[in-house]
Chain A
């Protein structure tokens, strides 16, 4: 089962880019990298996912290294409302059909400061 490593906490100034790293060296070839965030004890919220290279949506950008062993979530202009715990989860691919194998770590607690 793919496991991830994320820094436990990070700080970012409001208006600056927040770059959240994730190592997933055991990800299988057809697993996607999914990112979720959890704001103040609410349910986790889907942000973005990708298989390789770069993906961008209205919330964030995701850059996956060529060897797919790590990725970075980028919030281009962080706001106070982006203060949350961010989770990186390998999902789908070989795990598709069995969500029992999703491993939720403790994520990165991002604090956006005024």
Chain B
């Protein structure tokens, strides 16, 4: 049981490049979400999904797109990377939305130059 798997672990992009951060879970969780963590700030919610085909915006959605075509996968896309998107990104999933523990991946450390 792998839990929540994020790839890649590290990534360096140039301003304007695009990329996709991958997130997969094998726990059949309906709820999945993306957070970013910056120094001196708490985790901030980017986007979340309550099931396949359903996504919604979190606190800081600008510059990011998501889709949820399967229960297992929830990729996060940066269409045109900016230095302000330099951060550590965490994917999390849970059985329910808010009423059960969140399971986190080990993060993707992204640097945009």
- Interfacial chain A residues near B31, Cβ < 8 Å: 99
The count of chain B contact residues (Cβ–Cβ below 8 Å) is 30
Which of B62-70, B77-85, B90-98 is near enough to bind chain A?
B90-98
Chain B residues within an 8 Å CB radius of A43: 4, 90, 92, 104-107
Task: Tell me if B51 is interfacial: C-beta within 8 Å of chain A.
Answer: no
A34 pairs with B101, CB closer than 8 A: yes
Q: Is the CB of B102 within 8 A of A46?
A: yes
For residue B53, CB closer than 8 A to chain A, the reply is: no
Q: Please name all residues of chain A whose beta carbon is closer than 8 Å to the beta carbon of B58 when the two chains form the complex.
A: 100
Which of A44, A45, A49, A101 has the largest count of B CB atoms less than 10 A from its CB? A44
Complex: chain A residue closest to B90, CB-CB? A43
Return the chain B residue nearest A31 by Cβ.
B98
When chains A and B are docked, how far (Å) is the Cα of A25 from the Cα of B55? 32
Q: Does A15 contact B (CB under 8 A)?
A: no
Q: B98 to chain A: closest CB distance in Å?
A: 4
> Which of A34, A41, A95, A105 makes the CB contact (< 8 A) with B88?
A41
Query: Given the complex, which residues of B lie within 8 Å of A44, measured CB to CB?
Result: 43, 90, 92, 102, 104
Pairwise interchain contact B99-A96, C-beta atoms closer than 8 A: yes
Contacts beyond the supplied A34-B101, A96-B96: 19 A-B pairs with Cβ under 8 Å: A32-B99, A43-B92, A43-B104, A43-B107, A44-B102, A45-B104, A46-B102, A93-B99, A95-B98, A96-B97, A97-B99, A98-B98, A100-B56, A100-B58, A102-B45, A103-B42, A104-B35, A106-B40, A106-B42
